[in-house]
Amino acid sequence: ISDAENWFCECPKLYSGKLCQFLSCDENPCGNGATCFPKSKQDAVCLCPYGRSGILCKDAVNITQPSFSGTDVFGYTSFLAYSAVPNITFYYEFRLKFQLANHHSALQDNLIFFTGQKGKGLNGDDFLVLGLRNGRVVYSYNLGSGTASVISKPLDLTLNIHVIHLGRSLQKGWLKVDDQKNKSVTSPGRLVGLNVFSQFYVGGYREYTPELLPKGSRFKNSFQGKYCIF
């Protein structure tokens, strides 16, 4: 059905989407490992993995400089999803750099990376998360017996590129940001292993909003930057 330059498909019963391409998410019509997300009772959308685009994620995209714009006009976050990181149960160490696109919005409450046990927002799940909150870097993890958090001093906004070095050995975690002093924390309880099964998400999260992250790791927005996390 068309109206001047505007057109839309009038879908038969049970079908939805701009091109009536969705029968339901039960049979996941999305291609190349994409996630089918029920946007509403009448509509769904494909959340494409890294390097894919299009309504059904069939189009290949060559990405050389990933950028993160927070949420789009539909409220979906931009993110990269990597395979689950192996061998981080008792020890891990991460080094990363990032650039911010907007000091006002990008520093308020933004996710840098996340991996979790189930990634379904259940309280008590093991998780590892890094983000920005109120101009500071926040690093948190839960080994199953309580959340440990380390918060940096305010970022020096005169720096163009920020550097983060963080790690954990058993219950003890540590964080070093730019030229600030190293800060450490010890997780509560008696558990010493991080058990995560989800993918490793950078810059955002596959759910409709990062607020669905496990309690204790919640960040309200995805990361906002340019040529950003590397």
Looking at residue 130, its pLDDT comes to: 93
Q: Which of 108-112, 115-119, 176-180, 224-228 has the lowest mean pLDDT?
A: 224-228
CA dist 34 and 54 (Å) reads 11
Q: Average pLDDT, stretch 119-145?
A: 82
Residue 75 has pLDDT above 50, yes or no: yes
- Residues contacting residue 110 through CB under 8 Å, at least 6 positions apart: 70, 131, 132, 133, 219, 220, 221, 222, 223, 224
DSSP secondary structure letters along 140-171: EEE-SS-EEEEE-PPP-TT-SSEEEEEEEETT
Query: How far lies 196's CA from each of 34, 87, 127, in Å?
Result: 21, 10, 6
Q: What is the pLDDT of residues 147-168, one digit of tens each?
A: 899 999 999 989 989 999 999 9
Percent residues over pLDDT 90 in the chain: 26
Helix (H) or strand (E) holding 80: strand 80-82
Residue 144 has pLDDT above 50, yes or no: yes
| Highest mean predicted confidence (pLDDT) among 92-106, 149-163, 211-225 | 149-163
Q: What is the pLDDT of residues 26-42, one digit of tens each?
A: 667 788 878 887 776 66
Q: What is the pLDDT of residues 10-69, one digit of tens each?
A: 777 667 667 776 666 766 778 887 888 777 666 678 888 777 888 888 888 776 666 666
Looking at residue 121, its pLDDT comes to: 47
In order of their start, the domains of the chain are 1-62 (2.10.25.10), 69-229 (2.60.120.200)
Mean pLDDT of the chain: 79
4, two tokens: 């001047």
Say if residues 150 and 175 touch (Cβ distance below 8 Å): yes
CA dist 159 and 161 (Å) reads 6
CA dist 109 and 201 (Å) reads 16
3-state secondary structure of 34: coil
